[in-house]
Amino acid sequence: MLLGLTIRDVVLIERLSLAFRPGLCVLTGETGAGKSILMDALALALGRRADASLVRPGAEQAAVAAEFAVGGNHPASAILDKAGIATDLSGTIVLRRIVTADGRSRAFVNDEPASVGLLRELGDNLVEIQGQGEQRGLLDPATHRELLDAFAEHEVRPAGLASLWHDWRAAQEAAAEAARRLAEARAEEDLLRHEKAELDALAPEGDEEDQLATRRTLLQNAERIGEAVSEAAAELGGESDGEGGAQRALARALRRLERTRDRAQGLLDNAIAAAERAANETTEALALLNVAGHALDLDPRALEQVEERLFALRALARKHNVAVADLPRLHEAVGTRLAAIETGAEGVVALEKTAATARARYIAAAASVTRAREKAARRLDAAITAELKPLRLDKARFRTVLSPLAETDWGEHGCERVHFEVATNPGAPFGALAKIASGGELSRFMLALKLVLAGTSSVPTLIFDEVDSGIGGAVAAAVGERLQRLGSRLQVLVVTHSPQVAARGAHHWRVAKKQGQQATITSVEELDPDTRQEEIARMLSGSTITAEARAAAASLIAGARP
């Protein structure tokens, strides 16, 4: 709700502070008094376009501040949180705008610098202005689907429909991605099969390079090692010196020691034991040298075979830009990719089936939402039509149009576009509200729409600018009664020239233009019961207020009490 409006140096307004209250608030005054200036000033605070012409002549800048009270669940609170601006503890939001004489503009929200875009976004959620030249709110077709959904009672809620749409989109994307990967894999299938054949032929093992390199070094030195083995065996076996070697020498020594063991009284026992161990070790050494010699007695092609495999593994690793140790993993990966190609088609089919199922669920939910919207549209059209006749729009027709969308345009909100159309005369074609209705008709259409849709909008303040244009008598009384009814649910501000409308106001302000010492200024005065009756009498009779006009004003006020 709009709590207050403070204006400084805007056109004819020098300094002005207004405090507003709930219900129907009316602003009256003679033509040219400055009522439109008030609306322009408020629009400036709501983020509308700034213009240097708004700055009062002789002033350096114009400033406007609008204060609002909102609940914690109001969308404006979420907008502030997203923008990182703290909400006042009292739950108020202050929108402030400054325009300098050279046309530059600055915006503030709760005294923090803000963009004009943020000001406008907040303003759209706090105030809706219905008047000539305003193409926002109900006049914006982008809002019509949301309004109809709020009016309808859906079997499948729009939020559930959005979830099903996102599920379908995700399933579609998964199937498309799988199909893309399969197509890419098939494009390189021949290459993969060739690579697998090469890897199958080599069958690489993880630590094979180190083993082959060690084996190669051994084979390269086999001749020299063999010579050393033969020479050592000859030395131990006695073949090199002709005297029997170490093995026979140890045997002879043991025989001599054994012959004297008994006479030595144990003195030779340790020596004999050591000689026996030496003899045994020598025998074992000879045996191991024989084994080594046989191991070195290889196929002459062994070295060539080892080198061929080692070089083949290294060449394949270079080809695939991996280490030799990674060839087994590459082998496995190539096999997996080929297996995926063989089974990928089945996977794509399964994902496409999932996507088709998700699509069917979305279509079923969307059809349910469409049926609910069609039913709600008929109720909405009937309700608004019932409001048009008392507003002297009995020949006008209103309809809610649901236009089916191509599948490529389906979305989280369903399969149709929703917009409101009117035809103001019999036989005339239907068209958009803003294009078909005249200024006065448009305001009355907006009033009828707002009466029916009042419970569906989160915007707490509604402003009608000259909703009574071109009407009078019973029609003006009907407009006033409906504004009063609307004011019981929302805060309604109406700029009016109609005494029948003004008499319905819960609060009344008079806008007047006064000649100051140096310039003409606009002032605004809140009226008490007596001054209010006088103002309505003026609206009835003109500049000369008669007793009859005062009596008629009193009668209007009395008859307007709820």
Residue ranges with strand state E in 470-540: 491-495, 507-515, 520-526
**Tokens linked to 182:** 């399969």
Q: How many domains does the chain have?
A: 1
pLDDT tens digit sequence for 379-418: 999 999 998 888 888 888 999 999 999 999 999 999 999 9
Alpha helices in 10-143 (DSSP H): 35-45, 75-83, 116-126
Question: Tokens 């088609």 appear where?
Answer: 345
Answer whether residue 113 is part of any domain. Answer: no
pLDDT tens digit sequence for 294-333: 666 566 677 778 788 888 888 888 988 988 888 888 888 8
Answer whether residue 284 is part of any domain. Answer: yes
CA distance 454 to 433: 18
Specify the length of the chain in residues.
562
% residues pLDDT > 90 (the chain): 30
Is beta strand 431-432 parallel, antiparallel or unpaired with respect to 416-423? antiparallel
* Host H or E run for residue 311: helix 302-319
Q: Phi/psi class of residue 136: alpha, beta or left (left: φ > 0; alpha: ψ in -120 to 50)?
A: beta
% residues pLDDT > 70 (the chain): 92
pLDDT tens digit sequence for 491-504: 999 988 889 999 99
Least confident of 320-329, 405-414, 436-445, 512-521: 436-445
CA distance 214 to 209: 9
Do residues 168 and 273 make contact, with C-beta atoms less than 8 angstroms apart? no
Domain residues for the domain of 353 are 156-372
Answer whether residue 235 is part of any domain. Answer: yes
pLDDT tens digit sequence for 456-493: 777 889 888 777 776 777 888 888 888 998 888 889 99
pLDDT score for 136: 56
CA distance 255 to 384: 134
Q: Which of 538, 473, 525, 529 is nearest to 501 (CA)?
A: 473
Which of residues 290 and 296 earns the better pLDDT score? 290
pLDDT tens digit sequence for 180-205: 888 877 777 778 888 888 888 888 88
pLDDT score for 19: 94
pLDDT for residue 78 is more than 90: no
Answer whether residue 139 is part of any domain. Answer: no
Instruction: Supply the DSSP string of 422-453, one letter for each residue.
Output: EE-STTPPPEEHHHHS-HHHHHHHHHHHHHHH
Answer whether residue 484 is part of any domain. Answer: no
* End-to-end CA gap in the chain: 22
**Tokens linked to 502:** 């003004």
pLDDT score for 135: 46
For residue 277, the Cα-to-chain-centroid distance in whole angstroms is: 87
Question: Tokens 């994902």 appear where?
Answer: 351
Q: Is the dihedral of CA 51, 128, 1, 47 positive or negative?
A: negative
Q: What are phi and psi of 17, to 5 degrees?
A: -130, 125
Do residues 39 and 112 make contact, with C-beta atoms less than 8 angstroms apart? no
Q: Which of 452, 496, 505, 502 is nearest to 470 (CA)?
A: 496
For residue 537, the Cα-to-chain-centroid distance in whole angstroms is: 57
Alpha helices in 188-268 (DSSP H): 189-202, 208-220, 222-237, 245-260
Q: What are phi and psi of 328, to 5 degrees?
A: -60, -40
pLDDT for residue 64 is more than 90: yes
Query: Mean pLDDT over all residues of the chain?
Result: 84
pLDDT tens digit sequence for 126-179: 998 876 555 456 777 888 898 888 888 766 677 789 999 999 999 999 999 988
Alpha helices in 53-157 (DSSP H): 75-83, 116-126, 144-151
Answer whether residue 358 is part of any domain. Answer: yes
Answer whether residue 488 is part of any domain. Answer: no
pLDDT tens digit sequence for 356-386: 999 999 999 999 999 999 999 999 999 999 9
Answer whether residue 211 is part of any domain. Answer: yes
pLDDT score for 511: 92
